[in-house]
Structure 1
């Protein structure tokens, strides 16, 4: 789904939550590229008996919105790390 001109990147936020991104000069083509990638991902996950839930459909964002998304991703990642550490602490107590 990724092309040399428009690479689709997948970032793990906190399993099983992922974010797909791309950069494109043409907003509509970028959105179509992401939709195509989501369709393929859904097809493969379904093939193996899984479920793919889309929490937010692809949309074009500004640099400000992109920075906000990055901050959200980092926050989720920190939350996930602290949850993992809490789980380890609880198992050490037992």
Structure 2
């Protein structure tokens, strides 16, 4: 259980940091982080960090195609969570 909590902390911190870096690069017109990489971090458990970054940094909130994919990942994660912990 401790390993899982540590993993979730690290992946969410990493997701938040990558969203923040992408926002910074967008403002500077620099090299961006691909949406695929951001969504992959979210898929592997960083969706909470991604969500906080989207809210706090106002990043990727107007891009509907990204939001659909992001919330699809969240829906899958919620479904898996309830399937695993249903007992």
TM-score bracket relative to the smaller structure: 0.3 to 0.5
Query: Which structure carries more strand by proportion?
Result: 1
TM-score by length of 2: 0.36
**TM-score scaled to structure 1, two decimals?**
0.34
Question: Considering only CA atoms, is the larger Rg found in Structure 1 or Structure 2?
Answer: 1
